[in-house]
Structure 1
Amino acid sequence: MIVDLKKFIERERSTWEELDQTLTRIENATLLHLTLEEVERLHYLYERTGAGLIKISTFAAEPNLVRSLESLLTRAYAELQSGRSRTSKWSLRRWLFRTFPQIFRKHIRFFLAGLLLTIFGALFGGAAVAFDPDAKAAIVPFPHLLQDPSQRVKEEESQTNPGLASSKSRFSAALITNNTRVSILALALGVTWGIGTLILLFYNGVILGAVVFDYVRAGQSVFLMGWLLPHGVIEIPAILIAGQAGLLLGQALIGWNSTETMQQRLRSITGSLVTLISGAALLLIWAGIVEAFFSQYHEPVLPYQFKIVFGLLELVALLTLLVGKRNVSGLTP
């Protein structure tokens, strides 16, 4: 029986804050080895918080605090029961199929914000080209995309010389380097409180929308899908994930509704930033290889239907990786 609820909350608050900080450190660390003492301390904090929740839940006047403690205990229980001993060596497979998707889902609101802005940019780019065809020259920075779509399709389909393969390795390296540079920029622009990241994602959408509309209007939709889908279904999400990291950084700098200092906020998201940008880079490597060695071959060398199906299968695989397996261990509920 609690005689003075206010004093009890003040006395226990440090325990709850320590548990929250410990869980945040665990959740955001890609590489972390908990000692036996740290595990025992986590278990103690979990039990003490649970005991406090039982006492406070009898008071109808603190529903928000009860919900907050329930959420905290859910996180702690997931960590204690997930089987992650934190003593095993780092595994690329575990990081790719578990850590990366978990961090992605934990901060998915920033990904969705970037996706929404990119869609708006694409609509704007398509509308600009629809109302003013000459706007394409001002929007699209790539010279090979400025020519008439039908003419480009005709030229691409006439290049059946196997000798094209000799330049694919250099082209792949250039693509990977360029896309990685864009992704790092999307993250780095987070230091502008996320504004620069938002502008970059919007502009990428504008370019994409202008190109897509230009080819669809010219009746080259099948070519467009066969050309873009194999690498685009990986490349575009990868850039959005880099933007997700940039927006996360911007949010940490702004610190809305946070009682932590900026240094504490930045420290708490460091692991997430490293995981997101590393995942984006890994996806971009695959996208660069596919674009150089697969996307650039057109009919009659490779049927468009085959390329489209390949791209759709990639998309399904990526969605399965990122959101298909709902393992919520270590995530903030």
Structure 2
Amino acid sequence: MAGQFTDLVNDLGYSKTFYPHSKVTAYLNGLASRIYLGIYRNKKEESSRIVRFWKTELPMVVRRYHREILYSFIIFFLFSVMAAFSAAHDETFVRGVLGDQYVDMTEDNIAKGDPFGVYKSEDQVSMFFYIATNNIEVSFMVFIAGFLVSIGTIWQLFHNAVMLGAFQYYFFAKGLGLQSILVIWIHGTLEISSIIIAGGAGLVLGNSVLFPGTRKRLDSLKRGGKDGLKLMIGLVPIFIMAAFLEGFVTRYSRMPVALSASILAGSLLFVIWYFVVYPIRLEKKSRPL
């Protein structure tokens, strides 16, 4: 078909030159259009485009904004530590952050000998869909809040970090620190990493408005929005995997320590490799010698 198309284009060019108003010219033009559409409609491009996005395009975007992702991590970590410190010096802080109902329910579960019973309160499928939806909603709120010149993203990071810091301190105060890490961070590793990266995407969006550089502010915003959205699309599978782990795996809080630690370590290594190490290596390979 490609060979016929080449010959046809040559004939069409000749016909347009010497017989521009001929019916043959119109016929050849229509025929060439149909063959052109046939070639490119059947072109198997979509699958390779998807592979290229995950293999090259997304990691290069991540690499371009490593600094913003690092800032997001630092902000989230500092707010979490501040929350844990506040909880250690104020007995009412945890209840103020997590709510009386949640704390009372958890204390009741601890008294029953099942401190992480909250993860068994619903069936797996319902819990999976609820958590996946919630994770996506929270992370996109962190990203979209970047429109408020990054301040909105920082506020969202503060809100989520305070909840995490108070939540984690609560279990340490009850003598369940190590157990909580082995259970909660099975899904928490991917979940919290996603929120931090979403925070980086929000800072990219906000900084594109604050610091347009040599570009027009609107052009800078378009670029920041496009790159930030790519980061968010890249997080969707991680949201889903985190929801799967929380809905189907975390409920087995009495699983062997080795298995729990392996899942946690595997999640952490994946995040570090795909979002830190691999983008740096890819950038070095792409540099001209």
For this structure pair, what is the TM-score category when the shorter chain's length is used for normalisation?
A: 0.7 to 0.9
Determine the structure 2 residue equivalent to 1:123: 81
Which of 249, 259, 262 matches 1:294?
A: 249
How many pairs does the alignment contain? 238
Determine the structure 2 residue equivalent to 1:212: 168
Which of 280, 284, 289 matches 2:239?
A: 284
* Aligned CA distance change for structure 1 residues 142 and 236 (closer, same or farther; 3 Å): farther
* Aligned CA distance change for structure 1 residues 307 and 127 (closer, same or farther; 3 Å): same
Post-superposition, which runs of at least 4 consecutive aligned residues in structure 1 deviate over 6 A?
Answer: none
Q: What's the TM-score once normalised by structure 2's chain length?
A: 0.75
CA deviation digits over 1:27-62, x for unaligned, max 9? xxxxxxxxxxxxxxxxxxxxxxxxxxxxxxxxxxxx
* Aligned CA distance change for structure 1 residues 146 and 262 (closer, same or farther; 3 Å): farther
* Aligned CA distance change for structure 1 residues 142 and 96 (closer, same or farther; 3 Å): farther
Q: Distance in 2 between matches of 1:117 and 1:276?
A: 19
Matched, 1:274 2:263: no
Higher helix share: 2
Residue ranges of structure 2 left out of the alignment (5+ in a row): 1-43
Determine the structure 2 residue equivalent to 1:309: 262
Larger Rg, first or second structure (1 or 2): 2
Q: Distance in 1 between matches of 2:100 and 2:133?
A: 16
Determine the structure 2 residue equivalent to 1:265: 220
Q: Distance in 2 between matches of 1:221 and 1:198?
A: 27
The answer (yes or no) to whether the contact 1:149–1:218 under 8 Å persists in 2 is no
Secondary structure of 2:193's match?
helix
* Aligned CA distance change for structure 1 residues 93 and 200 (closer, same or farther; 3 Å): same
Q: Provide the aligned C-alpha RMSD in A.
A: 2.5
Determine the structure 2 residue equivalent to 1:106: 64
CA deviation digits over 1:180-215, x for unaligned, max 9? 111111111111101010011122111111111111
Determine the structure 2 residue equivalent to 1:252: 208
Q: What's the TM-score once normalised by structure 1's chain length?
A: 0.65
**Fraction of identical pairs, as percent:** 21
Deviation for aligned residue 1:165: 9.9
The answer (yes or no) to whether the contact 1:229–1:308 under 8 Å persists in 2 is no
Deviation for aligned residue 1:145: 4.3
Amino acid at match of 2:248: F
Q: Distance in 2 between matches of 1:172 and 1:188?
A: 24
Q: Distance in 2 between matches of 1:270 and 1:157?
A: 42
Matched, 1:170 2:123: no
Determine the structure 1 residue equivalent to 2:51: 93
